[in-house]
């Protein structure tokens, strides 16, 4: 596979806590949303990176008990960025969802 995050895909991603992984995915989602109205290509690249990081998170053995949530997250993110948004997601909902992981990552880092 041709990873955009080559260093992370080589194993570094698996050293991050679950909260750090999710916060990083959220950063890419925020970038994708920021570019939605400005540059379709940049938005698509950021959403591709978010899904790539999510796939790495799914493949991380420490997250095996969270697979149901992670697979659902992948389904809803893909629907939002690439399909018809049947789940009625919006930027504010994504911001709220991922902001919790930013906070948790920050608290757990201290």
In order of 31, 36, 72, the CA distances from 55 in angstroms are: 18, 22, 12
**pLDDT value at position 6?**
67
- Across 40-65, average pLDDT: 96
- Across 57-86, average pLDDT: 97
pTM over 0.85: yes
- C-alpha torsion 4→9→15→18, nearest 10: 70
d(CA 75, CA 84): 12
- Across 54-64, average pLDDT: 96
Q: Give me the helix-helix angle, 18-35 and 40-59, nearest 10°.
A: 160
**pLDDT value at position 58?**
97
- Across 34-41, average pLDDT: 96
């Amino acid at each position: 596979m041709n990873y955009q995050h080559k260093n992370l895909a080589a194993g570094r991603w698996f050293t991050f806590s679950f909260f750090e992984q999710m916060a990083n995915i959220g950063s890419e989602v925020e970038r994708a949303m920021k570019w939605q109205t400005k540059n379709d290509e940049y938005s698509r690249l950021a959403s591709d990176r978010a899904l790539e990081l999510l796939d790495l998170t799914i493949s991380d053995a420490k997250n095996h008990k969270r697979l149901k949530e992670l697979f659902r997250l992948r389904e809803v993110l893909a629907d939002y960025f690439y399909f018809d948004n049947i789940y009625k997601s919006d930027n504010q909902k994504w911001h709220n969802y991922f902001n919790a992981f930013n906070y948790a990552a920050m608290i757990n880092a201290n």
